[in-house]
Structures are given as C-alpha cells and as structure tokens.
Structure 1
C-alpha cells in the first residue's frame, strides 16, 4: 500500500460519503439492521475477491469457480427460502415471472460471475474491487436517467471525488504529471495495484 493508493482509497470513500449525504447516517433504529446488512455484504464482497484469487493459483478455471459459487449459495439459501417463503403455499407464477427469473439467473448471475472470476484471474483482486467505487456513481446516474431523479450538487461533488480517488489509486496520471517515480514500483505492470 503506497501513499497515493491509500490517499486514493480515502478520497474515493469520501466521495461515496458525500454522495450518500448526511441523511444516510441519521436514520432511526428501524433501519439499523438494514444498514448493518449492507455493510456486511460489502465486507463479504471484499473478502470473496481476496479469497477467490486463490482459485487461479490452484488452476481452477473461472467457469468452475462461478458454477461452484452459485451452486453452493443456492444450497445454503434453499432451506431458508423453504422456511421463510413456504413456496408450496404460493400461487404458481406466470410466464413473465419465469422469464424474469431465468434472465436474472442466466445473465445477471451466471454470466456475471463467469466474467467476475475471469477478471479476477487476469486483473487481480485489488483492481477488480476498484469497480465498487463506481457502483454508487452508476446507481445515481441510472436514477437520474431512468427514473428522472434530480441530481444535487453533492452528487456531482461525490462523483468528482470518486474519479480523483480512482486516478490516485491507478497512479498513471500522477506519474505522468510528476515523473516516473511517484510512490510506485520501478516496474509498473498494471496488475493487482
């Protein structure tokens, strides 16, 4: 961890906080469980990438890794779904519901995990996790363009901070501006920064 990378992480995190606004941190107790669940999911996502990096060293192909992860998570959640949802008491869903489920299963889950593990194998865990800074940006932009939500100045400021944080983590702009040796290894290979 270099100074510029550490600063980039802090700047990017500050951008996410600015985009969320102060109201996100002043909710009542009834939202506390949901906020903890979101933080736990983000932490699990980070651990998964670092742990998933080991599969490359073991020679496990990305398709096998993705299939194993989806199968294991299905088996873990099946008992919970049976107890909580009691699917035998629900009406049979229509064709549009089955099409939506298949679309989510094939495109948004299976294909997404296949791409995820291929990127993990080629780019490394650190580079792959940098995309998480772009999730709030894409969510805000989709809300504005698809749902017609209004963007405040804090949203633009947060996106600018995230862009600056990613640029600092990447380091290429800093090296170009201040020379080849700014907080970076002598040989920059672009992998797992």
Structure 2
C-alpha cells in the first residue's frame, strides 16, 4: 500500500501550497466552502454506490456526522484557509501535523482514555515544534505568529472533531458519515463566508495560477484525496493512515520550493522534527502494535511462499 499512501501524501501535502496561492486572490471561507462542495459532489455519490445505508437513524448517527461537519471540516478549514493568508503553506503543514498529538491529549481529557506523563511530554513537544516554526517576537505580534496561531486553532478544531465523533456510537458506515460531514461542512463554510461579508472576485482579476491551484485543491486533494483516504482506512487502518500527516509537511516544503522558490528554513525543519517526536511519544503503543501487525503479516506471507 506504499503507492496509495505516497499518492495521498503528495495530494494533501501539495494542497497547502495550493491554498496559499488561492487565498492570495479570493476570500478564504468562500474558497474553503467551494472546495468541500466539490468534494461532496464526489463523496456523496461514492457513499451511495458503496454503502447499503446513508440515512441516519439515531442521535449517535447525527452526532457523529455533526461533530465531523462542525469541527473536522468547517472549523478546521476555516482556520486553515484564513491562517494561510499569513504563513507559507509549508509552515501551515507543519502546524497541522500537531493534530494527532492534540487529538490524543483531548481524548485523554474528554473521553477519559488512559494517559500518562509521557503523553504530556509528547504534547509539550508538539507545542514546542509549533513555537519553533512560528518564532514569535515577544515585542510584537507579527503576521507569522497570527497565521500560525490560526492554523493551530484549526488543528485543535480537527482534533475536537476526531474526539467528538469517537464519543458517539453510530451505526452508519464511516463513508456515509463523511458524506454528511462534507455536505454540512461545505454549507457551514459558505454561510460563514456570507456572514463575514466575503464576495467573489471579478473573474478578470484572478490569475491563471490561482485557478489552477484551486482546481488542484478541490479536485485532486479534495475529491480524489478523500476517495483514496477511504481506501487506506479500509485496508491499512486508522493508525497507519494518520502517519500521512507527517509526510504532508515534507511534500509541502518540496512543492513550495519547486513551485514558489521558497527556501526550506532550518527552524521549520527542526520544528517539524520536534512535532514528529512528540507524535511518536504520544502514539508509541499504537505505532508499536501497527509495526507488530506488519511484521506478522510479512512472516505469514513468507511462510505461505
């Protein structure tokens, strides 16, 4: 499954640079809403074709879909797109990679899942990585610090959505829940765009690179990325799929360098490394089990041959 994993990492990692280009020429919430409207146009038919049931039948079904729509999609994307007006996509990708660490901490606090001092260390390392990337000036609240703060709030919102969906016991399949979430998230973002007073730019003012960037974000990373994400969830599981978060910053930095000529700075690299270590500390047990499963599968495969 290395090829699907690599393709999804490329699609989602490159999307951070695409967002950076697009929000320089159009309102952020409008772009985010349109992105998920396009995703919904693909995900909903996919769910209809592959799942036996799409209609919620319980409060748990509605709660899981609502939490995903409000936090995992609407809240996360709103903060990400607005924050991307102030920071490069490569920096935003590093900050977003803290979401698994934040998710583990919130799960311990809100769902009373087991945690220990090592989990706290992992969370502190995640925050330290964000600070290294942001490099805030104590004497002034610069645009970079504001942007990093907004994107980090997006990562927290994503984590709240992940924990929120786990607090329910839905009978709907994951794909069906995600279909409802994309529809609800897109609607919430578009309503937020109207309430924020955003208006579409005149077509003549939007350069070709912004249109190409948005098409990539909506079609490749959005619609196509979600279909591949569902496949990975079904075949390799949630823990392994989560690791894509740590390939995305590498891809984003490479794409930013190749497309925009942005240098890959030492603080960004070090910050990403610290965040990755924090993730390893927090998810050490799940990662160990995932490695054990992989090794066992290889041993069985060799024995069969």
**TM-score, normalisation: structure 1:** 0.59
**Matching residue of 1:75:** 187
2:212 and 2:251 mapped to 1: Cα distance? Answer: 25
- Asked whether the 8 Å contact 1:15–1:162 carries over to 2, the reply is yes
Q: Pick which of 30-39 and 158-167 moved more.
A: 30-39
What is the CA distance between 1:168 and its match in structure 2?
2.4
2:157 to 44, 49, 69: 44
> Aligned partners of 1:77, 1:14: CA distance in 2, in Å?
30
Q: Distance in 2 between matches of 1:25 and 1:137?
A: 31
The corresponding residue for 2:140 is 26
| In 2: Cα distance, 1:6 partner to 1:43 partner | 16
Aligned pairs (5 A) from 1:10-25: 10-23=124-137
Unaligned runs of 5+ in 2: 1-114, 292-305
Contact 1:67/1:110 (<8 A) preserved: no
Contact 2:118 2:281 (8 Å CA) reproduced: yes
**How far 1:110 sits from its partner (Å)?**
3.1
- Answer yes or no: is the 8 Å Cα contact 2:129–2:275 preserved in 1: yes
The residue number in structure 2 matching 1:174 is none
CA distance in 2, matches of 1:150, 1:101: 23
Highest RCO, 1 vs 2 (Cα 8 Å, sep ≥ 6): 1
Match among 49, 55, 60 for residue 172 of structure 2: 60
Aligned to 1:158: 271
The 1:34/1:101 distance shift into structure 2, 3 A limit, reads closer
1:103-155 Cα shifts (integer Å, max 9, x gaps): 4333322343455567678326xx77676566555544543454333344433
Q: Is the 8 A contact 2:128 2:271 kept in 1?
A: yes
CA 1:91 to 1:131, structure 2 compared with 1: closer, same or farther past 3 Å?
closer
Q: Is 111-120 or 44-53 further displaced after alignment?
A: 111-120
**Mapped pair 1:9 → 2:118:** no
Choose 130-139 or 73-82, whichever is displaced more: 130-139
Q: After superposition, what is the alpha-carbon deviation per residue over 1:40-78, rounded to whole angstroms, capped at 9, x for unaligned?
A: 3222111111123357x4232232122211111222233
Shift of 1:163: 3.5
Give TM-score, length-normalised by structure 2: 0.41
The answer to whether the Cα contact below 8 Å between 1:144 and 1:150 also exists between their aligned partners in 2 is yes
Q: Secondary structure at the match of 1:73?
A: helix
Q: Map residues 94-109 of structure 1 onto 2, 5 A cutoff.
A: 103-109=216-222
Cα RMSD of the aligned pairs, angstroms, is 4.3
Distance 1:152 1:70 in 2: 35
